[in-house]
Amino acid sequence: MAGLAPSLLSADFAELKEEIRKVEEGGADFLHLDVMDGNFVPNITFGPPVIKSLRKVSTLPFDVHLMIDRPERYIGDFVNAGADILTVHAEATIHLNRTIQAIKSEGIKAGVSLNPSTPLNVLDYVLEDLDLVLIMTVNPGFGGQSFIKAMEDKIRTLRKMIDEKNLDVILEIDGGVNLENAKHLKELGVDMIVAGSAVFGAEDITARTQEFKKIIE
C-alpha cells in the first residue's frame, strides 16, 4: 500500500485553503509543497511565509520539496514555517551529510531528492541517516510533465537498497504520475506518490484524491 502526497504546485493559488481542504477530505497522506528559486530550477514558486500561513489551515504532514541552491541556508526558516519533512536535492548542496544532520537536529524528518540523471550511489553513505528519498521522475521545475520511463529501474534498485538494509526510509516519487500509471508504480515498491496536475487538474478534486487512494492502496 502506498500513500498519496498531492502537490500544491498545480492548485489554484488564489484558493489554497479550499484546495487543501479538498485533498484532506479525499484522504491525502502528506501535503507536498514545491519550493523553487529560479536558480536550481527555471521556475519560482513560494517560500516560508506562504507555508507558515498554510500551516494554520491544515493538519496534514507538510512534505517540503526544496528545489533551491544551497538549501542549508534556509533550514531554520522552513522548520519555523511548519515543515514536517524537509527534502533537499543532492545536486544543490555541497556537504550533503552536514545538511542532513542540520535538518535532523531541528527534530524534523530529512529527505534527499535526486534528479533523473543523478545516480543512486550518491546515497551510499547517507541512506541510513535518511527518513525519505525522493526520486524525481521528471526533470524538476514544472508540473504536468511526462513520467520518464528509465526511472522505473531506479525505483526498483532503490527499493532493494532500502529493503536489504532493512531501513525505515520512505521511497517517494515525484512527477508525471496519473491514474493510468499509479498502480504499476506502486507495485515497483513506491511508498509515497506525489501527484500534482493529476489531482488538482480534476473537476472534482476530492473525488480524484479518493480515486487515486483506491488505486494505490
Ligand X SMILES: O=C(CO)[C@H](O)[C@H](O)COP(=O)(O)O
- The DSSP letter of residue 86 is E
Burial class of residue 108, CB neighbours in 10 A (0-12, 13-18, 19+): buried
When asked if residue 208 is in the footprint of Fe ion (CB under 5 A), the reply is no
- Is 78 marked as a binding-site residue? no
Q: How far apart are the first and last CA of the chain?
A: 4
The catalytic position among 29, 63, 131, 174 is 174
Is 69 one of the annotated active-site residues of the chain?
Answer: no
Residues in a beta bridge with 217: none
Min. distance of Cβ 145 from ligand X in angstroms?
5
* Catalytic residue list contains 84: no
Q: Is 51 exposed, middle or buried (0-12, 13-18, 19+ CB in 10 A)?
A: buried
Instruction: Name the residue nearer to Fe ion (CB basis): 65 or 208.
Output: 65
Using CB under 6 A as the criterion, which residues of the chain lie in contact with ligand X when the complex forms? Answer: 7, 9-10, 32, 34, 65, 67, 138, 140-145, 174-177, 194-198
34 binds Fe ion (CB under 5 A): yes
What CA–CA distance (Å, rounded) separates 130 from 162?
11
The answer to whether residue 191 forms part of the interface with Fe ion (CB under 5 A) is no
Is 196 annotated in a binding site? The answer is yes
Catalytic residues: 34, 174
- Binding footprint of Fe ion on the chain (CB under 5 A): 34, 65, 174
